[in-house]
Amino acid sequence: MEGGAAAGSVSFGVVEGDASQPDSLVLHAMAGHPFGQPQLTGESYRMQDVRLLTPMLPNKIVAVGRNYAAHAAELGNAVPDVPLTFFKPSTAVIGPTESIAYPPFSSDVQHEAELAVVIGRMCREVPLERVPEVIFGYTCANDVTARDVQQREGQWARAKGFDTSCPLGPWIETELDPADLAITCTVNGDLRQAGRTSLMVRSIAELVVHISEAMTLLPGDVILTGTPAGVGPINVGDEVAVSVEGIGTLTNKVISRG
């Protein structure tokens, strides 16, 4: 599913076709939001005739740090005893093809390719066996991080919450087994990250249980599940592409904040 714009209008829609053949993709416009029983308007558009927006503007983004052992090790960190969680604000979210604006208070901004979980219903204290009932689908994410600020300040609010630091997209895949998916990140076509979701320290179900013990999750909320090893710097002019097997590719350029 996707948020998109055509002829000046904005709506959710259902994408149909083969993502590996972009010319085959068609977006069927939806009336209202996608939660519950989606209703189509009967209007359809070729994908090349619409501009994709972020597939969801979440109330909150709950991110998980150091959920891949190799990534924790590459930054000199141990895997925590319990999931390490932090927030990214909704103002950090951008969609596919939108630009990551390099913050002026950092000189070391880095990419972090991730699988994102989209919550589909209000929930709290979710039992492990019922986690699939509260997940709407999955999308690609880039947990863009000002690494020098993260290390200097200790608290991660500015380092990971600055405007444009949470690209999401290109759409939400609602029929996907997330247990063992390839995750990659390229910068200007060069492979930087290559991992698999099967290498997560804690599973998606465990993360949902842990997070929902503390807070109510709302439809459209996003959980970022951690990044594989290989994080590295991005610079103004770079094109960053995050791909997740079974979903697609999220591409964003880096610009100077004007």
Mean predicted confidence (pLDDT) in 197-226: 98
At residue 87, what is the residue type? F
Mean predicted confidence (pLDDT) in 153-159: 96
Mean predicted confidence (pLDDT) in 149-153: 97
For the cut 80, the answer to whether the pLDDT of residue 1 exceeds it is no
Q: Which helix (H) or strand (E) holds 214?
A: helix 204-214
Rounded to an integer, what distance in angstroms lies between the CA atom of residue 254 and that of residue 258? 12
- Least Cα distance to 174 among 30, 6, 50 occurs for 30
CB 65 within 8 A of CB 84: yes
Rounded to an integer, what distance in angstroms lies between the CA atom of residue 115 and that of residue 119? 13
DSSP for residue 163 = T
At residue 244, what is the residue type? V
User: CB under 8 Å to 158, separation ≥6 — which residues?
Assistant: 105, 146, 149
Query: Which CATH architecture is the domain 2-52 placed in?
Result: Roll (2.30)
Q: Candidates 3.30.420.40, 3.90.850.10, 3.60.20.10, 3.30.70.20; correct CATH number of 61-256?
A: 3.90.850.10
Averaged pLDDT of the chain: 95
Mean predicted confidence (pLDDT) in 101-123: 98
Mean predicted confidence (pLDDT) in 64-86: 96
Q: What is the pLDDT of residue 36?
A: 81
For the cut 60, the answer to whether the pLDDT of residue 5 exceeds it is no
For the cut 80, the answer to whether the pLDDT of residue 4 exceeds it is no
Q: What is the pLDDT of residue 140?
A: 98
Q: Which helix (H) or strand (E) holds 182?
A: strand 182-187
- Tell me whether domains 2-52 and 61-256 share a fold: no
Q: pLDDT digit string (tens) for 11-52?
A: 899 999 888 888 899 999 999 889 888 889 999 999 889 999
- Helix (H/G/I), strand (E/B), else coil: 176: coil
Per DSSP (E only), the strands in 18-123 are 26-31, 39-46, 51-52, 61-65, 84-88, 93-94, 100-102, 109-111, 113-119
Rounded to an integer, what distance in angstroms lies between the CA atom of residue 140 and that of residue 242? 7
Reported pTM: 0.95
Q: What is the pLDDT of residue 216?
A: 98
Domains of the chain, by residue range, sit at 2-52, 61-256
